[in-house]
A and B are shown apart, each in its own frame.
Chain A
Amino acid sequence: MAGNDIFDSYHYSDDMDYELSSPAYGTDSEGEPPSGDPEDEDFYDDDTNNYFTTTNPKDERRFSEVEYQVHGMDDLVRIQKTEADKVGSIFGLSLTHATMMLRSMRWNKDRFLERYTEDPERVQRAAGIADVDPEAARSLAPPVRDYFERFSAPLASAAVDNEGEKADVPDAAPGLPVDPIFIAHDDLSLEAQSKRARTELRADTLCEICFSNEPDTPLYALACGHWFCVVCYHEYLGHKVRDEGLLTRIQCPTAKCPNAVDEPSVEMLVSPRDFQRYQRLLLRSFVDDNDVMRWCPAPDCTYVVECHTPQSALTSTVPTVRCRCGHAFCFGCGGGDHQPCICALAKMWIKKCTDDSETSSWIDVHTKVCVKCRAVIEKNGGCNHMTCRKCGHEFCWVCMGSWVEHGRSYYNCNRYSEKSSQEARQFQTKSRATLKRYLHYYERYHNHELSARLDHQLYLQTEKKMLKLQQASDLSWIEVQFLRDAVDTVVQCRETLKWTYAFAFYLVRNNVTELFEDNQRDLEMATEQLSGLLESNLDPQATPSFRQKVLDKTSYVAARRQVVLEDTARGLSEDRWEFNVSLTD
């Protein structure tokens, strides 16, 4: 398969020193973005949609990234052909037959090799192949091809498609005579003649579908010798291709005949548009059957991602991929991007949140009461730094604590205080404490989800701000894009933060989780700061400094995100984390 060479030659060295998770970096909570440092360029290049997103300048492997390729339809056709060619050349099979057999084995090459070596005829039969290769047969009788080339144009252009449009086939040259074709059989033995797919004019045979035998309509038969006129074949195949969503193989029209119509026959007998549709269906099953391929789940996206992370590696890797369309998703489970949480935990968490939604529904996430003046405050932006409109009290939306504490080095919002949980245990039952612990993480998870949703409103505001900026300053449209990039970064970071809380819920607290929590806190704080900056009012006088501030903050926030992802991923690969649930059920 394409790309294998690259996989093979790629080095996985575990002894490399990953600078991002060095303690100096990990605990630097007050630090401003180390702007101007050329090393940091590595952080920001992960959004290029090129084949191998992991090739960073130093050619070092990041723990938080996996290798993958994005394929378009044309690539898939090529890959499919390469696969079939490979097995075909081993056994001397035609491309058509190798493809049919591989398809019936769900593209599992190993299984095919094993079974075919054991009992080739059985594999052939299971694939619906009669014992003579249609390609070879047709090449023995070139007049058939000739006939179809002349024949298909008037037939296809006369056929009206399902959508009521004419099939898009160039009209036959006017005046071109459509001669009846008589095939020279002399060079074939009688037995061979009876065993090949062929088109003939047969005066003595009635088409069993239309009950007719028009003098100039040829009949067609697969090697099984079931004859149908080409007009009925055309209709039959077209109907199958258009109406049967998931078909991978079309049987001979005779009831319960085991033979399948091969691809070249389909191509010959249907309109080009239907053939295209047929090929698309085949590609769909090719991808669906293939363990190393997944369709991009974004609506209307037709790209396919190929990734060789095996299912067995999903407890130590989160194979997050980004499609060429921009959509990021998890290759392991097909769900949304849930980095740094591994698939099993993400699944458990989502289930828990759904199951417990009743219990936790009392958390009113949309409104809170100001602790000072009792005014009801509604959250209307992504920022968690709230200012009461009535009394001006500044507090944190998540913990309701005074914001003053958050702005300093003492930031206690992201971790569940063991002390207060001990106190809770003194007063309440154990189950209550468990619920409280869950709610602690759930609130933070849910809050980032909610904020990310509100941040989408920020996109609209940002659009306006960008226009305003452009008019008020001498910045070009390209130069004001920094605002949009900043919003993108905030949304992405909230997605990551969300999942850090799900991850933390299942984490057994010990000395190695300290660093994780520190990194999480740093990312959270930086994200809130950037989010707040974006919501602040624009001072046209201070545009250049504002722009620089946003640019710096965006870089810094993105870097913090990388730190979190890299540290958790590295921890997974080193088996550093201890979970409070079993991952194997």
Chain B
Amino acid sequence: MAALPKRITKEIERLIKDPVPGIIAEPHEDNLRYFDVVIAGPTQSPFQGGEFKLELFLPEGYPMEPPKVRFLTKIYHPNIDKLGRICLDILKDKWSPALQVRTVLLSIQALLSAPNPDDPLDNNVAQHWKDNEKDAIATATAWTQQYALPASK
């Protein structure tokens, strides 16, 4: 593997030295472009109390290309589909090389606090959210209990 760009080394250093509250991101020892991520469900959200595992990969074109991120833990969310793919503009056309792993993870955390059913990835879940938000939140809470509790790891 080609030498790691200085930028990635610096990002890793900073993530370890100065971690984001509620987020753990650790690169694999044998592949520093591949991160195991755990995001704590934000308080005041149906995901509260859950620990959500994600995988994050920095492709060869990073930072000109966005990182690839996916939820590994099942989650009931209008912007996240069954395969864990995330609908987030900065991971697609709004990506900017001035963004970082840190900003990406913060944005995902924010997405858990504020689901956006108007820009859905999973139409069924989004429809549920729009038709009956209370009921949808109940389902999300139930899923969090069922799939994302630290004990169920």
Contacts and interface: CB of A to CB of B under 8 A. Distances in A.
B7 interface: yes
B98 A212 contact: no
Interface residues of B, number: 17
A366 interface: no
Contacts of A136: none
B61 A239 contact: yes
Given A209-B63, A239-B64, A232 B97 contact: yes
B106 to A, nearest CB: 12
Given A253-B98, A254-B96, A210 B64 contact: no
Contact of B90 (A212, A235, A253, A255): A255
A209 B10 contact: no
A236 interface: yes
Contacts of B96: 251, 253-256
Contacts of B98: 208-209, 226, 228, 253-255
A255 B5 contact: no
Most buried by A among B11, B63, B65: B63
Nearest to A210: B7
Label chain B's interface by main secondary structure. Answer: loop
B6 A236 contact: no
A236 B64 contact: yes
Nearest to B107: A255
B94 interface: yes
Contacts of B4: none
B66 to A, nearest CB: 11
Contacts of B83: none
A241 to B, nearest CB: 12
B120 to A, nearest CB: 21
Contacts of A254: 96, 98
B5 A210 contact: yes
A211 B10 contact: yes
Contact of B64 (A208, A235, A251): A235
Interface in A253-283: 253-256
A500 B81 CA distance: 54
Interface string A196-225: 000000000000111110000000000000
Interface in B86-106: 90, 94-99, 103
Nearest to A232: B97
B99 A255 contact: yes
Contacts of A251: 96
A255 B63 CA distance: 12
Interface string B94-138: 111111000100000000000000000000000000000000000
Contacts of B10: 211
Nearest to B89: A256
Interface string B1-34: 0000111001100000000000000000000000
Given A209-B63, A255-B90, A236 B97 contact: yes
A255 B90 CA distance: 8
Nearest to A233: B97
Given A210-B5, A212-B6, A256 B64 contact: no
Contacts of A228: 98
A256 B94 contact: yes
Contacts of B103: 255
B2 to A, nearest CB: 13
Nearest to B98: A208
A251 B89 CA distance: 15
A211 B62 CA distance: 13
12 contacts: A209-B7, A209-B97, A210-B6, A210-B7, A211-B7, A211-B11, A226-B98, A228-B98, A236-B97, A255-B95, A255-B98, A255-B103
Given A236-B64, A255-B94, 12 more contacts: A209-B63, A212-B6, A212-B7, A226-B98, A235-B64, A239-B61, A239-B65, A253-B97, A255-B95, A255-B99, A256-B94, A256-B96
